[in-house]
Amino acid sequence: MAENLLEICDLTITPAGSTTAVLEGVSLTLAPGERVGLIGESGSGKSLTAQSIMGLLPEELNASGTVTLDGFSGNVLAAREKTLARVRSKLVSMVFQEPMSALNPLMRIGDQIAEALRIHGETQRPRMRGRVLQLLHDVHMPSPESARLAYPHQLSGGQRQRVMLAIALANSPRLLICDEPTTALDVTVQRHMLDLIAERVATVRAGLLFITHDLAVVAGVCDRVIVMHSGRIVETGSVREIFANPQHEYTRGLLASSDLESTDADGKLYTLRTALAYSGPTTSATASAASAAHTSAPASAAPTSAETKPSGNRAAATAPSAEGLGAPLIEVSGVSKLYRSGGLLRRKAPVQALEDISFSVHAGRRLGIVGESGSGKTTLLGILSGLDRPTTGHVRVGDVRVDTASSQALRSLRENLQFVFQDPFSSLDPRMRVEDIVAEPLVAQGMAREERRAKVADMLAAVDIDTASMRRYPHQFSGGQRQRISIARALVTRPQILVADEPVSALDVSVRAQVLNLLTDLVDEYALTLLFVSHDLGVVKHLCSEVIVMKDGHIVEAGATDAVYSDPQQDYTRDLIAATPSLAAALEAAR
Amino acid sequence: MPVYLLSRAAQFAVALFVASVVIFAMMSFLPGNAAQVALGTNATPEAVAALEARYGLDEPPLTRYLQWVGGMLGGDFGTSYVTGAPITPVIMNSVQVTAILVVCSIVLAVVIAVPLGTFAALEQRNWIGMTISALSQVGIAVPNFLAAIILVMIFSLGLGWFPSQGWMAPIEGVGGFLARLVLPVVSLALVQAAILTRYVRSAVLDVMREDYIRTARAKGLTRTRALFVHGLRNAAIPVITVAGVQLATLLVGAVIIEQVFVIPGIGSELVRAVANRDLVTVQGIVMVLVMLVLVINLIVDLLYPIVDPRIRSAA
């Protein structure tokens, strides 16, 4: 008992008024200073496990079993709120997923950090200020003095997460729990945050329980991994054991479907179903590709570098093989977008959302648009679809001049260009039946009811949704199924162009692979031109033939996907590729 | 920040101007002019014409509008065609009475509703919380004149603690003023408090689900302390909005209570002016009411940036 920092024994959690447990018989231990990764998809119970340790479980859940912490007498699950409050932050602390909402919007950063110190006994005001500054400094906050006086909305997501870490470590706890601390961050920011967590935990010699859905992330931070699935622990082992030789079929499936570098005999991504054939990340090939990306010797990628000579910010994403296809289907030239905000009396500096964007896409091509938040991806899509007009520049899609089109012309454009959005939970009207959702674009066309119904049934079958469930409502489907329904709705009018805006970012890894495979099939089958927007380079690399890298409203780099990935010309692209967590690199590091 | 203040002040001025035009137009272009209405249907055309000439009603509308607005800017609301007396003192006296009544009511309502709603949210699963919710539900359904009648029956006719009606200005005697104030204020406040309790409860429940409350608990605050330190100020934002709307409704809504307790407030004055077919007075009173509502909205708008730094820096 005294040897372990944390012991969870037979933890079972049941919602009030229900007999089915959401967490069942979970037992785990964590030694002092040990760094353990808790891996699982949504609904696996990993966050509930973490909340149990903090005594922060929602009231409507009943927990049984024991949770003991070294330094706390008794069972955390049975302790009173008052007793627990003294332990939190002092003995065990937590960093949460959502940096945007985890800080009080009405309170200065410094005060929020100071509060954590004050609660646990620090009272001297002059000393307090110094300690707050020290804590901000420790998490490498740029200009701690001004950050101390800032309000949360004045900081970026990454900076807020640093503040959360500063708060969590303020009282030098013996155990730090991180619940998906980097999931909401951009990849380059994620890299820094992960390094920072590892560094701080080592400095204060705390134990770490790191919760994530992302296998590649966990490998860099943890020694040991616990895999959870549907409320149970399915496998435990060192990072190397789990990655190289997974025993449980779920672990194997998870590993296989998060590997976007490997494909099965049919060229498909592995899913939970096909995971048996998966033989682990292809380390040698990808490792050399990764190192090539680092050194980026232009000579090593001679055959491809010719096509990707970006002249400043302008570059055509036209691959050479498309030259014989005639005029491109989509042509964007010199597009800029300025946002002027202001009301009755105020004038603000205009925001340059896009600057001099030019590219073209030929029919049947798959273009990936990669960029972090604020890069202008969303603005660009708005302009492409005619929802927004550019300040300067021209956009042509098919034979429609989008930037000057009449609303009549835009209507015909929208039949030809359809969207799939990121969030499968909010992009479907919860009060409409699935068949009506999918039929809606056809209603807009004025198609007769019978014909509509037949088309909808065909389309749902094509995305693997059982047509018997057509009359159900969106909430009766899982996230992956809803995203399929979104795809069906987009394709039912048989558009030429499909625009997918982060369509798999909100999905679990195992579901992501299935949806990506489906998307690949449909793009082939319907001869679609695909515009695929994502922050995830791995997904784009798998799916797209050409890629545009965007940053701060500019195109940083453009070209054929293979060429850009194997031989990036710009520092930003290099950083982006290096920061993207990959299984192969993670396994390499674990060796 | 100064820009925010300026733009709000400008909005206020524009709204006031538009309101004055609308009110003037409605009163001027209704069939039959003010003189006709004041004298009634039996008046001879000569008498009407004489009255029109006396009060300048034969002037073009624009001139009359400018005279009216100009007068108001100088603190003169004009002269009643019916009584021949200046309107300004009548309006000012009755506005004071109503303002005392309404401000006391909303303060009492807030004082009752904030602790009660917070408590109901904290104890939402207990019988106490549920009882508070149920009582506030009942309170909303009770019209305030009914509450007034019940209160009069118990505390005035039954126990004899307070007079059942009437009004006394504070300078005439503080004791008498307070004694006559209690029942009308309580009957207005009860219903408002019931409505506000529900809003406070749901605002607090929303806030309790926020991530920053969880962060505060992870820092080592108990659930209740976390709510007091971090939650209430966040919950204040929607509550201020509702309280502002309630205050505006009360201004006009007090008219029934003023009738029940025979209080010479602006509602009573408005009812009397309508009954006397005194259009100029009606026009003045409506203008004052509109102005007060706009002032309340302005105050609410100015409270937001004080509470919320996000609005402060967006401004």
CA–CA separation, A275 and A251 (whole Å): 10
Is residue A52 packed enough to be buried (19+ CB in 10 Å), middle (13-18) or exposed (0-12)?
buried
pLDDT band at A325 (very low <50, low <70, confident <90, very high): low
Interchain proximity A103–B212, CB inside 8 Å: yes
pTM more than 0.80: no
Element (H, E) at A360: strand A351-361
Distance from CA of A30 to the nearest CA of B (A): 20
Query: What integer is the mean pLDDT of A337-353?
Result: 66
Query: What integer is the mean pLDDT of A17-44?
Result: 88
Q: A531: closest CA among A398, A383, A419?
A: A419
Interchain proximity B219–A82, CB inside 8 Å: no
Q: A185: closest CA among A95, A262, A109?
A: A95
Distance from CA of A552 to the nearest CA of B (A): 22
The count of other CB atoms within 10 Å of the CB of residue B243 is 25
Is residue A356 packed enough to be buried (19+ CB in 10 Å), middle (13-18) or exposed (0-12)?
middle
Interchain proximity A345–B310, CB inside 8 Å: no
Instruction: Give A409-470 as a 3 state SS string.
Output: HHHHHHHHEEEECCCCCCCCCCCCCHHHHHHHHHHHHCCCHHHHHHHHHHHHHHCCCCHHHC
Contact list in B for residue A106 (CB cut-off 8 A) is 233-234, 307-309
pLDDT band at A401 (very low <50, low <70, confident <90, very high): confident
Q: Which chain B residue is nearest to residue A171, measuring alpha carbons?
A: B219
Interchain proximity A105–B308, CB inside 8 Å: yes
3-state secondary structure of A159: helix
Number of alpha carbons in the 13 Å side-chain half-sphere of residue A165: 30
Question: Alpha helices of A101-174 — where are they, by DSSP H?
Answer: 109-119, 125-138, 144-149, 157-169
Q: A524: closest CA among A263, A264, A258, A266?
A: A266
pLDDT of residue A319: 42
The count of other CB atoms within 10 Å of the CB of residue A382 is 16
Q: Which residues of chain B have pLDDT under 50?
A: none
Segment among A20-34, A264-278, A341-355 with least mean pLDDT:
A341-355
Contact yes or no for A262/A74 (Cβ under 8 A) = no
Which residues are paired to A92 by β-bridges?
A88, A175
Contact list in B for residue A82 (CB cut-off 8 A) is 222
Q: What is the pLDDT of residues A137-159, one digit of tens each?
A: 888 888 888 888 989 888 888 88
Contact list in B for residue A48 (CB cut-off 8 A) is none
Is residue A406 packed enough to be buried (19+ CB in 10 Å), middle (13-18) or exposed (0-12)?
exposed
Which residues are paired to A548 by β-bridges?
A369, A558
Q: Which chain B residue is nearest to residue A170, measuring alpha carbons?
A: B219
Pairing of strands A366-371, A529-534: parallel
- The residue type of A338 is L
Element (H, E) at B241: helix B232-260
Ramachandran quadrant class, A68 (left: phi over 0; alpha: psi -120 to 50; beta: rest)? beta
Largest CA distance in chain A: 77
pLDDT band at A389 (very low <50, low <70, confident <90, very high): confident
Q: Does residue A282 or residue A79 have the better pLDDT? A: A79
Q: What is the pLDDT of residues A290-300, one digit of tens each?
A: 444 444 333 33
Is residue B11 packed enough to be buried (19+ CB in 10 Å), middle (13-18) or exposed (0-12)?
middle
Interchain proximity A85–B221, CB inside 8 Å: yes
Residue B4 to residues A56, A191, B237, B243, B310, Cα–Cα distance (Å): 41, 40, 18, 22, 13
CA–CA separation, A511 and A508 (whole Å): 5
CA–CA separation, A476 and A349 (whole Å): 46
Q: A225: closest CA among A194, A246, A204?
A: A246
Q: Is B80 on the interface with A (CB under 8 A)?
A: no
Q: Which chain A residue is nearest to residue B14, measuring alpha carbons?
A: A344
Q: What is the DSSP letter of B246?
A: H
What value, to the nearest 5°, has the Cα angle with vertex B165 and ends B163 and B169?
90
Contact yes or no for B1/B305 (Cβ under 8 A) = yes
Read out DSSP for A281-333? --HHHHHHHHHHHHH--GGGGHHHHTT---BTTB-----GGGGGG-S-SEEEE
Q: Is B209 on the interface with A (CB under 8 A)?
A: no
pLDDT band at A285 (very low <50, low <70, confident <90, very high): very low
Contact list in B for residue A87 (CB cut-off 8 A) is 220
Residue A323 to residues A307, A318, A397, B114, B207, Cα–Cα distance (Å): 12, 8, 18, 70, 58
Contact yes or no for A376/A354 (Cβ under 8 A) = yes
Contact list in B for residue A86 (CB cut-off 8 A) is 220
Q: Is B54 on the interface with A (CB under 8 A)?
A: no
- The residue type of B301 is D
The count of other CB atoms within 10 Å of the CB of residue A54 is 22
Which residue among B7, B218, B223 sits closest to A344, beta carbon to beta carbon?
Answer: B7
Distance from CA of B215 to the nearest CA of A (A): 6
Q: A237: closest CA among A258, A259, A262, A215?
A: A215
Q: What is the pLDDT of residues A225-267, one digit of tens each?
A: 999 988 899 999 998 888 888 888 888 888 888 877 777 777 7
Is residue B175 packed enough to be buried (19+ CB in 10 Å), middle (13-18) or exposed (0-12)?
exposed
Read out DSSP for A462-518? HTT--GGGTTS-GGGS-HHHHHHHHHHHHHTT--SEEEEESTTTTS-HHHHHHHHHH
Segment among A198-212, A225-239, A479-493, A574-588 with least mean pLDDT:
A574-588
The rounded percent of chain A whose pLDDT value lies above 90 is 15
Tokens of A320: 């050479």
Output the average pLDDT for chain A. 82
Contact list in B for residue A345 (CB cut-off 8 A) is 3, 6-7, 10
pLDDT of residue B307: 85
CA–CA separation, A406 and A322 (whole Å): 30
Mutate to test the interface with B, among A106, A109, A120, A165 (most CBs of B within 10 A): A106
Distance from CA of B197 to the nearest CA of A (A): 23
Mutate to test the interface with A, among B1, B5, B212, B312 (most CBs of A within 10 A): B212
3-state secondary structure of A57: coil
Which residues are paired to A418 by β-bridges?
A498
Interchain proximity B211–A54, CB inside 8 Å: no
Q: Is B306 on the interface with A (CB under 8 A)?
A: no
Contact list in A for residue B307 (CB cut-off 8 A) is 106
Query: What integer is the mean pLDDT of A196-218?
Result: 87
Element (H, E) at B292: helix B279-307
